[in-house]
Amino acid sequence: MPALSARQVARGSNPLRPQGQSAMTPAYDGSLLEVRGLVCGYGKHHETEVVHGASFGLDADEFVCIIGANGCGKTTTLKAVMGLLPAKRGEVLVCGQDIATMKEAERAKRFAYIPQAHTPPFPFSVADVVLMGRTPYINRLARPTAKDCMLAYRALELLGISHLAKDAYTRLSGGQQQLVLIARALTQESDILVMDEPTASLDFGNQQLVLSRMRMLARMGKAVLMVTHDPDHALFCADRVIVMDKGLVIREGTPHECITTEMLHRIYNTDACVVDVEVAPERTARVCVPLL
């Protein structure tokens, strides 16, 4: 019997808990997430339809990036997938179960949302913020248990920021805040991590930091669905890319298949060159170079 690769062992596992003790869904043969013919938009009666048809899937150990121009419906798709926005037509299935039939707490055990770092009105401690990820598991009157604290602490450790636990979240740098939000999402122990342009307001170094942490989590067996406006980020960390244009999914495949000079021209309406660069001996990286 061939040895299992690290990737296979980690498939669908929960980085916060030891093997075999996962809080995640028991074996399910189909893909973890399935989006079929999703049509959605805003307004009481979906007057402004933004997404006209999106179908894609996500496996338990995949890192999938959705790329596209501003206003093409990436974020709207994400919200509808998480059930924050009702779908007009089509369905979103997690392990075969329609999210429209699920309660908030059930959905929160499936999806953990990592928003862009922003400042809440009050200076919660990092510990408090991360513990909030346990909300779907805390019933109305109970307070977080030692076990919840343990999971939250482990999430911080995993991301290398446990020394910040006592600090006020509002006083951290943007990159640190983003890591705290990732830790919060991990603490939620959901099947899927969903991110909406997590690097949008971060500097170069913090962008790499956040992306490398996300890639690490994906390697450890988390399914990640990330919206990004930077094709380089998709090349850097995605297993698969979904390209959206004007509310439709127009291409799906590996980053190398999807991110091409022609595709960039089509979706961003700009000239860019996709090239391979040798960054170290025998290690190349594919990047997009804008042609100004």
Partner 1 sequence: MPRLAYAFREAWQARRSQTGQHDCGPQHDLALGEEKASVQAVGGQGTGEQDAPTTIDAAEKAFDSRLTPKKRLFLALALVLVAFLSFMLGKYAMSPLEVVQTVWYSLGGDLPAPDPARELVLYNIRLPRILVVMMVGAALSVAGASYQGMFKNPLTSPDLLGASAGASLGACLALLLSLGGEAVQLFAFIGGMLAVGMAVWLNKFVDYDPTLGLVLAGILVSTLFQSGMSLVKFMADANDKLPTITFWLMGSFSAIDRTDLVRCMVPMLVGFALLVSQSWKLNVLSFGDEEARSMGVNTRRTRLLVIFASTLVTSVSVAVAGIVGWIGLVIPHLARAVVGPNYRVLLPTSMFIGAIYLLLVDDIARLLATVEIPIGILTAIMGVPFFVFIFKHNMRGWR
**In this structure, what token pair is assigned to residue 104?**
């908030």
Q: Is 215 in the site for partner 1 (CB under 8 A)?
A: yes
Give dist(CA 279, CA 67) in Å, integer: 24
Residue with Cβ nearer partner 1 (87 or 263): 87
> How many residues in the chain?
292
For residues 10 and 267, which CB has a smaller minimum distance to partner 1 in the complex?
10
For the bound state, the minimum distance from the C-beta of residue 155 to partner 1, rounded and expressed in Å, comes to 10
Residue 154 as a binder of partner 1 (CB under 8 A): the answer is yes
Q: Which of residues 74-113 bind partner 1 (CB under 8 A)?
A: 79, 82, 84, 103-109, 111-113
Residue 67 CB, nearest distance to partner 1 (Å)? 22
Of 15, 56, 284, the residue nearest 65 (C-alpha): 56
Q: Does 284 bind partner 1 (CB under 8 A)?
A: no
Which span (62-70, 161-169, 251-259, 260-268) binds partner 1, by CB under 8 A?
161-169
Q: Which is nearer to partner 1, 35 or 112 (CB)?
A: 112
Q: Is 281 in the site for partner 1 (CB under 8 A)?
A: no
Among 41, 68, 136, 231, binds partner 1 (CB under 8 A): 136
When binding is defined by CB under 8 A, the residue of 51, 64, 161, 180 that contacts partner 1 is 161
Torsions phi, psi for 41 (to 5 deg): -175, -165
Q: Which residue has the tokens 């040798």?
A: 278
Alpha helices in 29-88 (DSSP H): 74-82
286 CB-near residues (< 8 Å, 6+ apart) = 235, 255, 256, 259, 274, 275, 276, 277
Residue corresponding to tokens 């997009």: 288
Determine the Cα–Cα distance for residues 182 and 220; give it in Å rounded to an integer.
14
Rule CB under 8 A: say whether 123 interacts with partner 1: yes
